[in-house]
Structure 1
Amino acid sequence: MKKRSILFMLCVFFLITGCNSPGVGKPQLNEQFIGFATEIDLENNKVLINDVWFSFDKETKFTSDKKKSLHSEDLKVGQKIKVKYDGVAEESFPASAAAHQFILLTDEQSERQGDAVELVVNDPRFSQVVMQSMEKNPTGMYSLRFKDLSLNRDVHVLVSIDDERVIVPISTTANE
């Protein structure tokens, strides 16, 4: 009986916390978000990082992960960035939020990942790239998944940074 009570209480706890947990990609108050810049609009003071347009103003801080003070002009496509912000302003796709701070990540892994994203964004086959995921496979190539808003489809590519190539795998499933 005691085991059942404990099990019941655990189930209730998980149900309650599961219902109140934020959704994937749904920023909450005082959040931090890490992603890759795929579009920068300095004219309108905003940058697309993964699936969120982060706006900034004169109060927004720009720094490196080494605490070096930077400016909005230091942002570049492909760069891995940590953003501090308070909640989502708009429920749209891509979402929108106001940033308090951009921290440009400069470690070697972040730089290599950024190079992979930059190759995809600059590839003429794609435009309006909204990053979804990235992983490095055992061959040293990066596997990127993103949504191309101009094509309105999900895309999966392999990127070889050393060869500066973006490879679109051939689908082996038959379309009916």
Structure 2
Amino acid sequence: MVEWLGFAEACEIVQVKLGLNGARAKALLWGAVLRRDFSIGHSPTEVHDEERRLFPSTSRTPQGPSDADRQSLTIIHHQSFLDWLQGFPPGKATGDEIPPVVPHRPKGTSYAAADAPLVQEMHNLISRGEYPSARSAAMSLIAKIKGAGTPDSLARRLVDRYKETYGANGE
């Protein structure tokens, strides 16, 4: 018996066993991988050169590796995968049992309270003429912005809040 399966091979098994199309099977399987519902690893034949780029201990790029890159290097322990798969009735998957795949901030939480003093600080910086635009002021405060994301996405959130508070012209 094969001890490890590639992600693509496991995805094909999910399609056949649960009667899902490729995209639904991939979403279900990748969600299970992210939740560590079964034992996973990284392909030893492919990881040596790619590991630093795809699985860095500290990411050098803000966005990190794509899911497709990570999936191509993910291997799944065969027996733990089969044990996980037994929890689904054959050919009866409706999609209702497929949990969300993308990790996200819980609904009802917001960075609005944490952003408010920064928006005020942005306004002061722009009013004093230290920065010509909301974006440049937001970029100067990047280290103070709470939350995860790329510097661009964090700055964009702060600029959006600035525009909500002070209008497009900052008045």
> For this structure pair, what is the TM-score category when the shorter chain's length is used for normalisation?
under 0.3
TM-score (norm 1): 0.24
Tell me which protein shows more helix as a share of its residues. 2
Question: Which gives a bigger RCO, structure 1 or 2 (Cα 8 Å, sep 6+)?
Answer: 2
Greater share of strand residues, 1 or 2?
1
